[in-house]
Amino acid sequence: MTPEIVTLANNPALYLVSMFAKIFGVFAVVMGMVAYATWVERKVIGRMQTRLGPTMTGPAGLLQPIADGLKLFFKEDIIPTKAHKVAFLLAPMMILVPALITFAVVPFGGDIRVGDYLVPLQITDLNVGVLYIFAMSGLGVYGIVLAGWSSNSKYSLLGGIRSSAQMISYELAMGLSLVSIFMLSETLSLRGLVEAQSGYGWYAFKQPLAFVLFFVAMMAEVNRTPFDLPEAETELVSGFCTEYSSMKYALFFMAEYANMITMSGITATLFLGGADGPFPGVINFLIKVFACMFFMIWVRATFPRLRYDQLMNLGWKIMIPLTLVNIAVTAVVIVVLQ
């Protein structure tokens, strides 16, 4: 039970104010992180490839995301003549919106006390929080498939088809890797999951295999580099967003990074104890999110893209059996310990 409902529900005005404050706060922070994640990514990958990354716009290239945004804003917005207009316009939004609204269930800190009220730092706590996350990440795929199909271009279509195949394979492994977590926590609510991990009982330690499998499947979900087959600049000329330009392209770009942030937040919540740790709540959470994002960037700078058959092999022949084994072992251990 969320304390907010006990205390703030008696005062609808305060409840609304706290809700809006949290929504706008989270939205602003996520969008700011999206902008600067691009800068960090370019800087870090540049350094890792013994380059410098952006240096010209502002000190250390810090104004680069703003310059990129302005440039995309003033670009010509092209819709191919044979594209399906409605779907073509809808697709970028259908990718970005699920990426952003997934964050609604992620607790980004402990409860804070404002006057007589306890305000949880989570927009809303669903008792089926994890299912909601899966539903939203599944919805994001529709955006990619729609973008691929509506562009009426073979590259885009291939990107869309690849992404749907990839999502189906990896969503399974992702869901199954979390089953072992629920067996320990006995709840699907993200708030409950964080409470079950408090005091450094993080599931990353208790379930290391599930953690690794989840992280790999997550990178496949957000189309990050070893699994960026739907985009695949070198073979599909950026896949599903080949035909997009201007702000619509920017939306795809933002969606990729928003997805990255959301998935890092979910990893931090499910496996790294959410806001549990040595610092005040929100800082712990942000450190974990940044660590996950840094790792994804690091992996992108290091490993080449998988071939399509390797991707499918990894998904169906390695990940899914391993998750099933993990579930069986966890079940046996739980029963034995009881």
Partner 1 sequence: MFKEFAKGLSITFKHLMPGHSTTVEYPKQKLAPSARFRGLHRLVPAHQREKCVACYLCPTVCPAKCITVDAAENERGEKYPRVYTIDLLRCIFCGYCVEACPVEALEMTGTYELANYKRADFEFTKERLLK
* Binding footprint of partner 1, residue count (CB under 8 A): 14
Q: How far is the CB of 173 from partner 1 (least distance, A)?
A: 18
Q: Using CB under 8 A, pick the residue from 301, 312, 324, 333 that binds partner 1.
A: 301
Angle, helices 154-185/320-337, rounded to nearest 10 degrees: 10
User: Residue 268: what residue type?
Assistant: A
Q: Give me 123's structure tokens.
A: 């927009």
Residue 49: burial class (beta carbons within 10 Å; 0-12, 13-18, 19+): exposed
Of 118 and 209, CB closest to partner 1: 209
Residue 244: burial class (beta carbons within 10 Å; 0-12, 13-18, 19+): buried
**Contact call for residue 10 and partner 1 (CB under 8 A):** no
Q: Using CB under 8 A, pick the residue from 20, 24, 279, 303 that binds partner 1.
A: 303
Residue 305, CB-side half-sphere exposure with 13 Å CA sphere: 16
**Contact call for residue 44 and partner 1 (CB under 8 A):** yes
Q: Using CB under 8 A, pick the residue from 28, 47, 73, 208 that binds partner 1.
A: 47
Cα dist. 26→101, 106, 108, 208, 327 in Å? 10, 10, 9, 29, 34
Q: Using CB under 8 A, pick the residue from 302, 310, 325, 329 that binds partner 1.
A: 302
In 3D, which of 91, 232, 241, 228 has the Cα closest to residue 170? 228
Of 60 and 101, CB closest to partner 1: 60
Q: Using CB under 8 A, pick the residue from 21, 28, 51, 235 that binds partner 1.
A: 51
Of 16 and 318, CB closest to partner 1: 318
**Contact call for residue 19 and partner 1 (CB under 8 A):** no
Q: Hey, which residues does 114 pair with through a beta bridge?
A: 117
Restricting to residues 53-82, name those near partner 1 by CB under 8 A.
55
Q: Can you tell me which residue has the tokens 């942030």?
A: 261
Binding piece for partner 1, criterion CB under 8 A, among 57-65, 227-235, 248-256, 294-302:
294-302
- Residues forming contacts to partner 1 in the complex (CB under 8 A) are 44, 46-52, 55, 298-299, 301-303
